[in-house]
Amino acid sequence: MILGIETSCDDTCAAVVSDAGEIRSNVIASQGLLHSRYGGVVPEIASRHHLELLDAVTADALERAGVDLDEIETVAVTRSPGLIGALLVGVSSAKALAAARRLPLVPVDHLHGHVVASTLQPDPIEPPYLCLVASGGHTFLARVDSESGYEVLGQTLDDAAGEAFDKGARLLGLGYPGGPELDRLAREGDPEAFDFPRATPGDLDFSFSGLKTALLYKLRDEPDAERADVAASYQRAIVDALVSRTRKALDREGLRKLAIGGGVAANSELRAAVEQLGVPVWVPPPELCTDNAAIIAAGARFLERVAYPGYLDLDASPN
Amino acid sequence: MNVLGFDTSTAATAVCVARDGEAASERWPEPEALSGPPGHARELMPAVAAAMEEAGLGFGELDAIAVGVGPGTFTGLRIGVATARALAGSAGVELRPVSSLAALAAGAEADPALALIDAKRGELFAALYEAGEPRWGPLAAAPKEVAARVRESGTSPLAIGDGSVRFRGVLEAAGIRVLPEGARTHVVRALHICRLAATALPKAPEAVLPDYIRSPDAKPR
Ligand SMILES: [Zn+2]
């Protein structure tokens, strides 16, 4: 049984996952609303809350899983990338928890966690596959030949897709979190009403910063434009960019399976669009798309366990 | 009574295993560590494991874990407190929070003692101790303000800690004696964390938090 801990951004997470990839518990304490008043995640506030919440979140994960700390055989923790002060809370806690019991520890790359989210039960994907991860913090396409790693084929050169959703929602005067609100409004609009630019940087990369600027100008120049139409057209531009690159990557790499992950995977238009790509698609449930510790424990299953005392000097890394 | 104590409130990482108030094994960093880059995440657990081994103890044989809760460097304090909480919870040992400034003052070998930890941004975390009891503080203030408070208290304490080294000029100009540079007692000693823990009350691990003093630097939009 693996205990996973994740504190890389603003969600304090712990989960218990079996070696076979069954999720026994997956607890997420979100600080999202707290940071919304500051217009973004404040690292010091996030770090303080992680420390306040982590022990209770971990205890909750064990209790919901119906296991005792004695039944935990491995501790997995996000080591990078993320906010360094936030990561250090999870890393320090995980190291001490493991060391007091001489348990092995597995440091996990947060992005690797997103990439292997679909390898969890009940319908685990098997490599090789293409994975599209799109969230407020990351947007990339990865080739997965073995669950123990991944090869980044393309990534965003500026904003993440989730950031484009959040910033767009803010410009449209929508509530927080912006992505779901924009998704809802877009359903009432005409996605063909306006033509937003599709930036096509080299190869399989993404760029979303120009799109946000285009939206700013659109709202300024046409203040009377139907907001649902604007939202729908803006969302279409983001989804088109994601799907066109995904299609290109599938073709170029000769891959026949697709997994998507990250918070943007919850977007209804993106979900519908990837189903049209002609390959089987794995879309994890929402709680496995956003940041969580079950995917960190999932990643640990495929990595080498560092035996005590080899991990005592483990440090976190922002990138 | 077996106590594991550590402090990460400054750039130094201090660790001690004490048996009935005496060090069975101690890591007391050199004063140079105060001005170096902090390495708490890399240093703390190896030092804890080494001290436990040298003292010949397993975590289950501890009567208490004691942690310096600051004030001091925010990230350092979180590493120390997160480590202490998880060790205590995982090993089933009680946890006792101790003031880092009180531990610093306990090592001053002078009474009264003005414990000063560099708070960055031109400020000090300060507390004045007399006969082991705090007269005032802990608080965060500019060196001149600290000097004014000392004058008001009508005492002539010895100032110690990395904050006193940093602001020696201002403090001495205000008539406050500062421990000579390079003295090892400028470094918070974990032995004193262990000793102060003997009289501190245990707290539920999840209730132990750093004494930040300062609020996070952020303004709502
Ligand atoms: Zn993420």
pLDDT in tens, B134-168: 999 999 999 999 999 999 999 999 999 999 999 99
Distance A213 CA to ligand 1 centre (A): 25
What percentage of residues in chain B have a pLDDT greater than 70? 99
Report the residue from B74, B82, B217 with minimal CB separation from A92: B82
Do residues A54 and A46 touch, judged by C-beta distance below 8 A? no
Cα–Cα nearest to A268, from A207, A183, A204, A162 = A183
Q: Does B143 touch chain A (CB under 8 A)?
A: no
The nearest CA of chain B is from the CA of A24 a distance in Å of 20
Chain B residues within 8 A of A95 when measuring between CB atoms: 45, 83, 86
Cα–Cα nearest to A155, from A238, A257, A242 = A242
- Calpha distance B19→A283 (Å, rounded): 56
Distance A176 CA to ligand 1 centre (A): 18
Determine the distance from the C-alpha atom of residue A199 to the mean position of all C-alpha atoms in its chain, rounded to a whole number.
23
Cα–Cα nearest to B218, from A47, A158, A82, A92 = A47
pLDDT band at B220 (very low <50, low <70, confident <90, very high): low
Q: For A202-226, how does the pLDDT look when each residue is reduced to its tens digit (9 = 90+)?
A: 789 999 999 999 999 999 999 999 9
Note the maximum CA span of chain A: 65
Do residues B212 and B70 touch, judged by C-beta distance below 8 A? yes
* Helix or strand (DSSP H, E) at B143: helix B143-153
Do residues B40 and B13 touch, judged by C-beta distance below 8 A? yes
pTM of the model: 0.96
Check CB contact under 8 Å for B82 and A37: no
Distance A318 CA to ligand 1 centre (A): 13
* Helix or strand (DSSP H, E) at A199: none
pLDDT band at A33 (very low <50, low <70, confident <90, very high): confident
- Please give the pLDDT value at position B67: 98
Backbone angles phi, psi at A209, to 5 degrees: -70, -35
Ranges A264-268, B61-65, B72-76: which has the least confidence? A264-268
Q: For A87-101, how does the pLDDT look when each residue is reduced to its tens digit (9 = 90+)?
A: 999 999 999 999 999
Rg (CA), chain B: 17
Q: Does A56 touch chain B (CB under 8 A)?
A: yes
Chain B residues within 8 A of A309 when measuring between CB atoms: 46, 49
Chain A residues within 8 A of B59 when measuring between CB atoms: 100
Residues with CB under 5 A from ligand 1 (ion): A 135, 291
Cα–Cα nearest to B114, from B165, B80, B76, B46 = B165
Number of residues in chain A: 319
Q: How does the average pLDDT of chain A come out, rounded?
A: 95
Chain B residues within 8 A of A56 when measuring between CB atoms: 206
Q: What would the two tokens of residue A89 be?
A: 């809370």
Q: Does A306 touch chain B (CB under 8 A)?
A: no
Give alpha helix (H) positions in A102-160: 110-115
**Most B-contacting residue of A93, A101, A306 (CB-CB within 10 A), to test interface:** A93
What is the SS3 assignment for A30? Answer: strand
What are chain B's domains? 2-100+188-207 (3.30.420.40), 109-185 (3.30.420.40)
- Calpha distance A257→A280 (Å, rounded): 5
Cα–Cα nearest to B159, from B110, B203, B119, B194 = B110
